[in-house]
Structure 1
């Protein structure tokens, strides 16, 4: 199992010290660095910036929001960065949610499964560069011939020859149909809130996708990149402090990230067996009682979602994640020293 550094997306200001984290990850043998985007910073620019400081680590997005760019635009970003980095790009994408897609990008959220399939197909056409890019699907028709069209659009082929025709495409997916489609059409999966305890729930969904005619990968060569916080602590008291620190983040995703009646992250917790808890957390969070919502999050849930413990406990927990099929752990970290220590403990 490989290690990736999850840089995430920016808060109110660009984070400080990222250069040190990236250098430590490269020097310590991490396989990749990953960036994200929400509705502020984008995922590609930091990879281009920090990628210049590296020569070995893969440069991944987890995730690019598909509604923020047309499929051909996403492909242009990926092939450009792949050239500049010497073939190190991992293109992670996802549909986001209706609040962001319709509220921030001004695009319809309907039919996320069908839209994903079209996006992936168009990007693969661009990267293969075998013919001019066309698409008959209703979501991203190429050439466009709908309302307001001039009739002058024509199929085009990328001017630039991609460095790699097979840039890995990983998809963020949460529900049964999304996960199955990801196993069918993608090279990897970026789950959210994946844990050893919940891993069994996903296996039939993955197997369904792998069994479909024309599936791109098998379980043997399919990547699963799970995100968690890994922290080595001295004792139970220090561990409790870390658990308490992470509870507000769990509460945010469980109760506050998404509309009341359509919160995909909340649905993940419901499938994990926490439906009653999720309802109460959401009720408190949406009424503004965020601290009370966080206080409801059980230690056991946070402990299951992350890897926190002494050196020996961390080794055991990492092995448990690997046994479920995880090929890459995407880890958040606050200091270069933490990264070096993690690499040393798990070497």
Structure 2
């Protein structure tokens, strides 16, 4: 069976209140717990807690931006979690977006491919415990060595959407992490990374049979994410350029309400899983059947008990 992951923390649930659920995840069939980093919790702290609550789980970040920490600090934080979860931590890194990097963190979002590549190469060396003195294309490091390198060092996966970054992930990382794709898109992504590379994806799941409510939430998320240039280019490559063109036009004109309204139901239904818990579980399984190694469920709020929904979405 493939892996089966959950994004933590859950929306609206205090971080410490996750202990009861996280302890149950391995018995439910979940193999992984993954975090994200936007404007909520940082990516590492929830995994520190999970490492103690459920030592069986593999833990991963999806993703940590390569711009918002210095290279040395990023290596230190990764080594710390890897020490707490020996052999069970995956450091997922990526370029993130101009909003998160520049508008929120006052960093220069430039040369995302090169910065991701350089950070990946630095981390490979640093996390192995070696001294790093290197002038990369996008930054330089002088005489850095971890005082507490983890044994074994963590795996490193790279956030990737289009072929260039996907090929880099396949060539130099331990896998690729992608986002905002349909089950039917997985074969196209898989064809680029190859058959033997771990491919993970965050999958947005809204377990409700109120299709209008699910689509309403899905439209807000889609217009927020897919108007970001890298995601717009990703979906152009995947073949949704024409379907999403009215959204982009309305968004560029400053009409956010219209941008939501003109997203076709068919696009929402492809990108945001909804329906009964049982139906949602089978829709997640379709990603695996199409070649995804690691589905990472991101549970969207419906007003129902999220712990019960997580239990219902466990693999059967």
- TM-score bracket for this pair, using the shorter chain length: 0.7 to 0.9
CA distance 1:105–1:311, shift in 2 (3 Å): closer
Offset, 1:75: 1.3
Offset, 1:95: 0.6
What does residue range 77-92 of structure 1 map to in structure 2 within 5 Å? Answer: 77-92=77-92
Separation in 2, partners of 1:27, 1:310: 22
Separation in 1, partners of 2:46, 2:150: 21
Separation in 1, partners of 2:47, 2:260: 33
Offset, 1:72: 2.2
Aligned to 1:148: none
What does residue range 3-22 of structure 1 map to in structure 2 within 5 Å? Answer: 3-7=4-8, 17-22=17-22
What does residue range 177-192 of structure 1 map to in structure 2 within 5 Å? Answer: 177-192=164-179
Aligned to 1:275: 241
Separation in 2, partners of 1:6, 1:200: 23
Counterpart of 1:225 (choices 188, 197, 200) is: 200
Offset, 1:117: 1.7
Separation in 1, partners of 2:157, 2:38: 18
Is contact 2:8–2:46 with CA below 8 Å preserved after alignment? no
Is contact 1:9–1:43 with CA below 8 Å preserved after alignment? no
Aligned to 2:312: 341
Separation in 1, partners of 2:217, 2:16: 20
Offset, 1:232: 5.0
Is contact 2:170–2:176 with CA below 8 Å preserved after alignment? yes
Instruction: State the secondary structure of the residue aligned to 1:43.
Output: coil
Instruction: State the secondary structure of the residue aligned to 1:90.
Output: strand
Aligned to 1:151: none
Counterpart of 1:291 (choices 249, 254, 257) is: 257
Offset, 1:31: 1.0
Q: Deviations over 1:38-77 (max 9, x none)?
A: 2453211222234332221122111101101122221111
Is contact 1:171–1:182 with CA below 8 Å preserved after alignment? yes
Offset, 1:138: 3.0
Is contact 2:90–2:157 with CA below 8 Å preserved after alignment? yes
Q: Deviations over 1:313-333 (max 9, x none)?
A: 446534431132211111123
Is contact 2:64–2:94 with CA below 8 Å preserved after alignment? yes
Is contact 1:170–1:186 with CA below 8 Å preserved after alignment? yes
Q: Which structure's CA Rg is the greater one? A: 1
Offset, 1:104: 3.3
CA distance 1:253–1:163, shift in 2 (3 Å): same
CA distance 1:10–1:163, shift in 2 (3 Å): farther
Offset, 1:311: 6.4
Aligned to 1:163: 151
Aligned to 2:182: 195
Aligned to 2:131: 132
Question: What is the CA RMSD across the aligned residues, in angstroms?
Answer: 2.7
* Structure 1 segments unaligned to the other structure (5+ residues): 144-154, 208-218
